[in-house]
Structure 1
Amino acid sequence: MDEPRWLNETEMRAWVGFLETSGLIQRHVEQQLREARGLTMVQYEILHWANDSGTQPLCMTELANRMITSRNGLTYQVSQLEKAGLLQRQTDPDDERRIQVVITGEGRRLLEEAAPGHVRTVREGLFDRLSNEQVAQLADIMETARDHLRGTVQLQAPRKRRGERA
């Protein structure tokens, strides 16, 4: 068996720093969104992606892939947003098996109201502490890692065929 390539001191600092910073900024943003607009970070992200799709409805599978989550986990959150009148689900006219989400006017209004506080929190928690050069480096690093992982990590479990067992 091959010996693992252990992380060196710098790599360990980077990994632990990434994990801790990621958790802290997510918690910070979540608190701000809950206090200001009664939204979770996941709900804000769903509204963002639904709004970002423009006039083209967004398929639930594509939304799950963008958010790196399961379709099942997403369904509950979309249901909550639909009950609140912020999203609508509809059947894809080209494929009745596919469900699409569309942001409502009320959802767009809430997103527009929430965005300034959200951006301020992200800036204060992360970007205002970095130089422009560090932000550019961070963007390059995250894009490189994301592009690699998007090409190698399976985001959705394959759908089971009718009668197939787990």
Structure 2
Amino acid sequence: MDVVSHGSYIQRLAPMFVLPQESEADGWSPQKVVRTLVSPSNPAQVTSSSQKTIKTCGMLEALCNILMASGVPADILTETINTVAEVIRGSQSNQDYFASVMAPSNPPRPAIVVLLMSMVNEKQPFVLRCSVLYCFQCFLFKNEIGQSQLVQTLLPSTTEGEFCI
């Protein structure tokens, strides 16, 4: 399958990600189909082209809406997190978009922060927590801006002339 035909298939999948969504008991979930298109084991050109198309046709936005929705079953949420992870992995444009996604909370928080908070919550299923860790790893993969922002948040605040040990 060539790169051009991938785009048309991705666009046909996009309506499957509009909320509300029911899980499929048999067969592959829509998330697994998308993950196949953006798998790191694919040729880089296929993965990159698929990532661009997924963002352009609005599927990345729909996936992020599922991530931020309340009441999503843990198994669907886990699949969606893994899918978003592979859609943003190594794609600066998609990583930038994901960084801009805000959780519907008061005050609004970045989606990545909300996901990380759920990762450290021991009440969450282990497999869900692992998917969040993978998503965070994919967010930082080849993302110098995201890496720099992370380092800045981890560095201690000091006033001029003082050093924290």
Q: Which has the higher strand share?
A: 1
Q: How does the TM-score come out when normalised to structure 1?
A: 0.27
Structure number with bigger Rg: 1
Q: How does the TM-score come out when normalised to structure 2?
A: 0.28
Structure having greater relative contact order (Cα 8 Å, sep ≥ 6): 1
